[in-house]
Amino acid sequence: MPSAPLRFVNRVNTLQLYHPLFVIRGITTVTTVDTVLSKHDNGLNFSTWSYNKNQVWKGSLETVSFEKQTIKDKLMVLNKPCYIVKVAGKIGVTNEGYLSPGDNGTTAQVELLTFAAPIRIQQFGDPNFLSSHGVKYAYVTGAMAGGIASEEMVIALGKEQILSSFGAGGLTPERLEAAINRIQQALPQGPYAFNLIHSPNEPAIERRAVDLYLKYQVRTVEASAFLDLTPNIVYYRVAGLGLNNANQIEIKNKIIAKISRREVATKFLQPAPARIIKELLEQGLITELQATLAAKVPMADDITVEADSGGHTDNRPLVCVLPSIIALRDEIQAQYHYQTPIRIGVAGGIGTPQSALAAFMMGAAYIMTGSINQSCVESGACEHTKKLLAQAEMADMIMAPAADMFEMGVKLQVLKRGTMFPMRAQKLFELYRAYDSIESIPLAEREKLEKQVFRKTIAEVWEGTAAYLSQKNPEKLGKAVNNPKLKMALIFRWYLGLSSRWSSSGEKGREVDYQIWCGPAMGGFNDWVRGSYLSEPNNRQVVDVANQIMTGAAFLYRVQNLKIQGLQTSDYYSQYHPVRSTSLLEI
C-alpha cells in the first residue's frame, strides 16, 4: 500500500505525527514516526558534528521526501534551495519552506541538518569570461580542423549564447571566407570564434587566414599549435588595439590561446615582442598608437590549458598542468598589472559532468570540449566516423604522425579502433627517418606502399602533389625538385593530409584509412551516456550535450556541497544521467 501524506499536529507544545491510514471505525489511532518511516531506507546519514544548531526549518512535512527517487528529484531542482531535515531518526529532503532562527522551545522531533542554496549554471567559471564574450555559460567548444567544427555547430551553439570555434585549419582561403560569411550572417552579434592554427612550414597559409579575419572583423580567434609567437598572430592582436572615449585601452581582437607548456604560455601571457612590433610598424601594418599600446596588454585574453586532448596534444595530466599555468599567470599579472587579468580555462579530457566540475573546482575560468562534439549531429565528420566515435572506449586512442608537422616528428592523438591509419602513418614516418629519398626505399617496401596505403603508384601520387603545389605553393615545389628528402615527405603527407578529409567526406572504400582526431574524453563520454538517449549518435546535438554536462556539473556540485557539510549518501545520489527532459533542471 502506498504511503499517504504525513501531517503535523501541535498539541500542548508537543509535536505528534498522525497518519490518516490508521483510522478504525472513526477513531484515529496514533502511530509513532518510526513505525511510519521505518521502511524508508534511503541511504542517507549525517555526521553528528555537523548538525545545524542555529536555524530551524519551517514548512509542511508533506513536502519532505523520504524515498530515494523523490529525494533525488528534489536534489535536482537546482533553482530552489534544498533543505535536509531529520524526522524521528529518518533523513528527508525538501525544496519548500524557509529557515528561521533557532528557538529553544522547538521540538527536537524535526531537526534541520543542513541546506544548499539554489545554484545556477552561470555561476561556474569566471563571470568576466561571460561578459567579455557575451555568453551564458563558461563552456566553449573548441576548433577541430577541416571544418569538423562546422558552421552548423558554431551557429547552433551561438544561437544559444554558447561560444564555439570554427575549425579553419587545413581549409582553403575560399572555403574559410565562405564560412565567415555564413556564420556572420547567422550570428551578426555573435558569439563565435575562428581557429588560427600555427603553420610553421607554410606561414603564408597562416597569414591568409589573418588577413581574412581582419577583413571581416572576426573579433575572437582561437590560436592553437603555436610553438612561438609569429608576426601573423601579433599582427591580428595589435591591429585591434585602440583607445575608447574614456581614454582606456580597447582590445577589439580577442585571442583564446590553446597551450600545454609553460614556455609557450609565457609568450601569450606577456605583451607582444618588441622586435615583431617594430617590424609590423615598419611595414605600415600597425599605427604608432597601436605599437605603444601593444606594450601594455598581453597577447591573449584567455589561455586554454590543453591536457590530454584529441589532435595536437602533449598528453598533459590536467591536475598537474592547470595549477602550474594558473600560478604562472599570477606571477606575470603581478609583474605587468594588466587592467583585466588573463583568464585560464581548460581543454582535454572534458566529456562528463564529473570532469567539468573537477576543472571548475580547480579554478578553471571556463571549460572547452572537443572530441565529444565530433560525434554530434552538427559535426563535419561523416556518419561512419560518428558511429566509430560513439563506440570508442578510453583505451582506443593512440598517437600518430601529424600531416602539418610531419618532418618535425610531431604527433597527434587519433582513434585507433576501426581504422589502420595510426599504424600506416607511423610506418611512413619510420621510412622517412630511415631513408634519404623515395628511391632509396627498398622496392618491396615501395610496392607495399603503393598497394596497401596509396592504392596508386608513387609516380601518380607525386604527380598529383606537384600539380597541387604548383597552384598553392610553387616555392615549396621548387625546393622539393632539388631536395629528395623533402619530396619524400610531401609524398607521404599526401596520404596523411587526405586521410583526415576522407573521414569528413565519408570517402567510400577508404574507411580503413580514416584519420579521426580523438582524445580519451570520447570514451569517458560514451561510458557516461551508455543506456541513455545520447548513446545513439543521431540524438547527440551539441547544445543538448553542453546543457547536460553543465547541468550535471551543477547537480554534482550540490551533492558534494551537502557531503562536505556532513551529509553521507549512497553512490545513487552521486550519479547524474542524461534525460531528455530537463524541466526540473532549468535554472
Sequence-ordered alpha helix ranges (H) in 144-188: 151-158, 173-186
**How confident is the prediction along the chain (587 residues), in pLDDT tens digits per residue?**
344 333 333 332 333 333 333 332 233 333 334 434 445 577 888 876 555 667 889 999 999 999 999 999 999 999 999 999 998 889 999 999 999 887 654 445 688 999 999 999 999 999 999 999 999 999 999 999 999 999 999 999 999 999 999 999 989 999 999 999 999 999 999 999 999 999 887 788 899 999 999 999 999 999 998 999 999 999 999 999 999 999 999 999 999 999 999 999 999 999 999 999 999 999 999 999 999 999 999 999 999 999 999 888 888 899 999 999 999 999 999 999 999 999 999 999 999 999 999 999 999 999 999 999 999 999 999 999 999 999 999 999 999 999 888 998 989 999 999 999 999 999 999 999 999 999 999 999 999 999 999 999 999 999 999 999 998 889 899 999 999 999 999 999 999 999 999 999 999 999 999 999 999 999 999 999 999 999 999 999 999 999 999 999 999 999 999 999 999 999 999 999 998 864 444 44
d(CA 368, CA 349): 9
Q: Output the pTM of the full model.
A: 0.88
Cβ density class 472-508: b for 16+ within 10 Å, e for less:
ebeebbeebeeeeebbbbbbbbbbbbbbbebbbeebe
Cβ atoms of 351 and 372 within 8 Å: the answer is yes
d(CA 78, CA 358): 19
- Phi-psi group of 7: left, alpha or beta (phi > 0 → left; psi -120 to 50 → alpha; rest → beta): beta
Three-class DSSP category at 60: coil
Q: What is the DSSP string of 98-116?
A: EEEE--TTS-TTEEEEEEE
d(CA 391, CA 381): 15
Q: What is the DSSP string of 541-581?
A: -HHHHHHHHHHHHHHHHHHHHHHHTTEE--GGGG-----S-
The predicted pLDDT at position 423 comes to 97
Q: What is the DSSP string of 279-306?
A: HHHHTTSS-HHHHHHHTTS-S-SEEEEE
d(CA 321, CA 346): 10
Pairing of strands 343-347, 567-568: unpaired
Three-class DSSP category at 27: strand
- Which candidate, 276, 363, 263, 375, places its Cα nearest to that of 318? 363
The predicted pLDDT at position 307 comes to 94
- Which candidate, 124, 121, 102, places its Cα nearest to that of 111? 102
The predicted pLDDT at position 144 comes to 94
The predicted pLDDT at position 484 comes to 96
d(CA 265, CA 263): 5
- Which candidate, 554, 499, 296, places its Cα nearest to that of 385? 499
Give me the residue spans of the domains in the chain: 7-118+553-585, 135-369, 391-521
The predicted pLDDT at position 50 comes to 54
The predicted pLDDT at position 103 comes to 66
201 Cβ partners below 8 Å, 6+ apart? 404, 405, 407
The predicted pLDDT at position 15 comes to 35
Pairing of strands 302-306, 343-347: parallel
- Residue 182 burial (CB count, 10 A): 15
The predicted pLDDT at position 233 comes to 98
d(CA 69, CA 42): 9
Pairing of strands 110-116, 193-197: unpaired
CATH 3.50.50.60 fits 135-369, yes or no: no
The predicted pLDDT at position 52 comes to 60
The predicted pLDDT at position 473 comes to 85
Q: Based on C-alpha coordinates, what's the Rg of the chain?
A: 29
**β-bridge partners, 58:** 98
- Phi-psi group of 197: left, alpha or beta (phi > 0 → left; psi -120 to 50 → alpha; rest → beta): beta
Cell of 106: 522547538
d(CA 560, CA 365): 20
| Burial label, 284 (beta-carbon count in 10 A; 0-12, 13-18, 19+) | exposed
Cell of 258: 590553446
**β-bridge partners, 303:** 257, 344
Three-class DSSP category at 94: strand
